[in-house]
């Protein structure tokens, strides 16, 4: 099974946010791969492999006349012509080129008239980031809205256009995930009350498709989509440690498991092998095997991580042979390999 093989050090420690660990690869054999996480106003990333010209990435969310910026969500989004780094905060959304060197778009909440959430329970924040298809980008907001952009790289110039705002949540959005299946390009959104909405991208717009609201009460913390299962399998982690799987097209519950005994804080899917990686505040990392024959999901591996409040888990290759973990208030990224 998996064994710890090395530790990668970031420039700073990791903030206490679910899915606070991101990975991007720039080659097919996953040699030039970068691992990143955020703390306060800074997103930090390093390449764990011996790659010539590898960079240390440091992206700082910059604002004018505003203090105490906190990144609430960060993600690399591979598009058709480029890869962008998206940072969300309590002040807005900023889109950079992949290494944070140049800002492409600054979407400020105040100037774009984004107000407090309807229940006025939390402050402003952007949570959940997903690339849809080849050029669209979606970000979830505290208002229950999803804002959508179109991003293209023409020669050396980025073209970024605001598409619109789409709403079908009352509570604030906590997570987004997207995938392309035989039935189309889908986006799934989850909120703080456990409600899930499935959207389809149609002619550059989000069209609401299915609403799943039978399991309210615990927030959605992680979402991923397995597009090899029929019309797509929606895999959702919750604040109570449950994992539920739904048919992406119909919203029907397919399977559920008690995966952890605390908040699920990280989830990733190895697209080639069907391995599902999860981590939780209970201090455990687990790997599950998804299958199209026999049981849909089976427990495959479990490991306690001592003295760690886990904040993120990511595979480092599409087969799932290597994964990494981040922990709150630690700069160490732990790497495990078969």
Task: Please tell me the distance from the alpha carbon of residue 323 to that of residue 335, in angstroms, as a whole number.
Answer: 6
pLDDT tens sequence across 24-66: 999 988 999 999 999 999 999 999 999 988 998 999 998 887 7
Q: What integer is the mean pLDDT of 116-120?
A: 65
Size (the chain), residues: 338
- Segment 248-266 shows an average pLDDT of 96
The contacts of residue 237 (CB under 8 Å, 6+ apart) are 220, 221, 222, 223, 243, 259, 264, 267, 278
Parallel/antiparallel/unpaired status of strands 220-226 and 310-315: unpaired
| pLDDT > 70 fraction of the chain, expressed in percent and rounded | 98
CA 276 to each of CA 63, 128, 236, 262: distance values in angstroms, whole numbers, following the listed order: 37, 19, 11, 18
User: If pLDDT is split at 50, 70 and 90, which confidence band does 118 have?
Assistant: low
Cα 141 to Cα 126: distance, rounded to the nearest angstrom: 5
DSSP secondary structure, 39-98, as one string: ETTEEEEE--S--TT---EEEE---SS-----EEEEEEEE-SS-EEEEEEESSEEEEEET
| 91-100 residue pLDDT tens | 999 999 999 9
* DSSP one-letter string for 207-268: EEEEEE-SSTTS-EEEEEEETTSTT-EEEEEETTSEEEEEETTT--EEEEEE--SS-EEEEE
- Percentages of the chain per state (helix, strand, coil), in multiples of 5: 0, 55, 45
Predicted confidence band of residue 121 (pLDDT cuts 50, 70, 90): low
The domain made up of 11-264 is a member of CATH 2.130.10.10: yes
Query: Nearest Cα to 72, choosing from 57, 90, 94, 97?
Result: 90
Total-model pTM:
0.95
Predicted confidence at residue 116, as pLDDT, reads 76
Q: Are 285 and 279 in contact (CB under 8 A)?
A: yes
Q: With bands split at pLDDT 50, 70 and 90, how would you rate the model's confidence at 153?
A: confident
CA dihedral 242, 8, 32, 103 (to 10 degrees): 80
pLDDT of residue 90: 93
Q: Please, what sign has the CA dihedral across residues 1, 25, 220, 131?
A: negative
Mean pLDDT for all residues in the chain: 94
**pLDDT attached to residue 276:** 98
Give the pLDDT score at 119: 62
Mind listing the pLDDT tens digit for each residue in 285-317?
999 999 988 899 999 999 999 999 999 999 999
């Amino acid at each position: 099974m998996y064994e710890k093989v090395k530790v990668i050090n970031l420039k700073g420690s990791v903030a206490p946010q679910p899915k606070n660990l991101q990975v991007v690869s720039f080659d097919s054999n996953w040699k030039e791969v970068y691992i990143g996480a955020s703390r306060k106003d800074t997103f930090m990333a390093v390449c764990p492999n011996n790659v010539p010209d590898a960079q240390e990435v440091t992206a700082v969310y910059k604002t004018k006349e505003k203090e105490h910026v906190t990144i609430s969500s960060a993600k690399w989004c591979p598009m058709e012509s480029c890869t962008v780094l998206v940072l969300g905060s309590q002040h807005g959304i900023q889109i950079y080129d992949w290494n944070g060197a140049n800002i492409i778009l600054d979407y400020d909440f105040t100037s774009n008239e984004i107000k407090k959430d309807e229940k006025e329970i939390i402050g402003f924040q952007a949570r959940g980031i997903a690339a849809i298809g080849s050029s669209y980008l979606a970000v979830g907001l505290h208002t229950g809205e999803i804002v959508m952009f179109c991003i293209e790289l023409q020669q050396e110039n980025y073209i970024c256009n605001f598409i619109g705002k789409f709403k079908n949540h009352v509570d604030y959005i906590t997570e987004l995930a997207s995938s392309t299946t035989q039935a189309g390009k889908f986006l799934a959104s989850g909120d703080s009350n456990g409600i899930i909405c499935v959207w389809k991208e149609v002619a550059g717009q989000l069209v609401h498709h299915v609403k799943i609201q039978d399991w309210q009460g615990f927030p959605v913390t992680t979402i991923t989509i397995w597009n090899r299962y029929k019309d797509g399998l929606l895999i959702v982690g919750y604040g109570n440690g449950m994992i539920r799987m739904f048919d992406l097209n119909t919203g029907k519950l397919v399977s559920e498991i008690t995966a952890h005994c605390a908040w699920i804080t990280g989830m990733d899917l190895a697209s080639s092998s069907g391995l599902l990686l999860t981590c939780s505040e209970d201090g455990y990392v687990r790997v599950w095997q998804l299958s199209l024959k026999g049981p849909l999901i089976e427990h495959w591996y479990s490991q306690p991580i001592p003295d760690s409040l886990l904040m993120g888990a990511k595979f480092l290759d599409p087969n799932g042979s290597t994964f990494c973990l981040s922990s709150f208030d630690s700069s160490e990224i732990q790497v495990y390999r078969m």
